[in-house]
Amino acid sequence: MYNAHISADWTGSKENVHNARMKNDLHEALMDLVGVVNRPQPDQHLLKLAGVSLDRALFPLLVRVGLRGPIGVVELAELVGRDHSTVSRQVAKLESLGLVRRRAGDTDARVREAVVTPAGQAMVDAIGQARSRMYASVLAHWTEEEKATLTHLLRRLADDAKVWVKEEGGG
């Protein structure tokens, strides 16, 4: 239905690869979304709703540790797109706050796998609830099929993008 009137320029095609002015509607939408996600206000807003205080930068790390279970510094750094040294300090801060705990890896003693503590999990849960209410509000007018389709395609895009980073983006 919609693709009939959408004029996305998929610039791998030969017709427009030489045209300097190119539209990429997908990229524009993605950047708009990133702008919203990156702004500090929603996090702080959610934190206030959850009744807790936490540095803005520690926020995504705590959530990801809660999500990806035991995880090391390097893998975490790749997930959030920061240098491992930065993440190392931030995880240490989370540990000193009692929100994550670290233990040596079973099979690899080099990694110090981080997991959330009960206190950290409680915070992750509280944040997750507030965030879910936000999503429910944003998606109030969406049909179940639309939400499922978007989730499916976005998941695939994220996976494909990660593959690309590994193959070409990293070096």
Partner DNA sequence: GGATATATGTGCATTATACACGGATATCAC
Partner DNA sequence: GTGATATCCGTGTATAATGCACATATATCC
Q: Using the rule CB under 7 A, is 86 a contact of DNA?
A: yes
Residue 145 Cβ, how far from a second copy at the closest point, in Å? 5
**Which part of the chain contacts DNA (CB under 7 A), choosing from 22-30, 101-109, 121-129, 134-142?**
101-109
Site string for DNA, 7-36 (x = CB under 7 A): ------------------------------
- Measured from the CB atom, the residue of 104 and 129 that comes closer to a second copy is 129
In the list a second copy, DNA, none, the entry touching 117 (Cβ below 5 to 8 angstroms by class) is: none
Q: What is the DSSP string of the chain?
A: -GGGS-----TTSTTTTT-SS---HHHHHHHHHHHHHH-HHHHHHHHHHHT----TTHHHHHHHHHHS-SB-HHHHHHHHTS-HHHHHHHHHHHHHTTSEEEEE-SS-TT-EEEEE-HHHHHHHHHHHHHHHHHHHHHTTT--HHHHHHHHHHHHHHHHHHHHHIIIII--
Which of positions 17-56 make contact with a second copy (CB under 8 A)? Answer: 17, 20-22, 24-42, 45
107 binds a second copy (CB under 8 A): no
Residue 56 binds to DNA (criterion: CB under 7 A):
yes
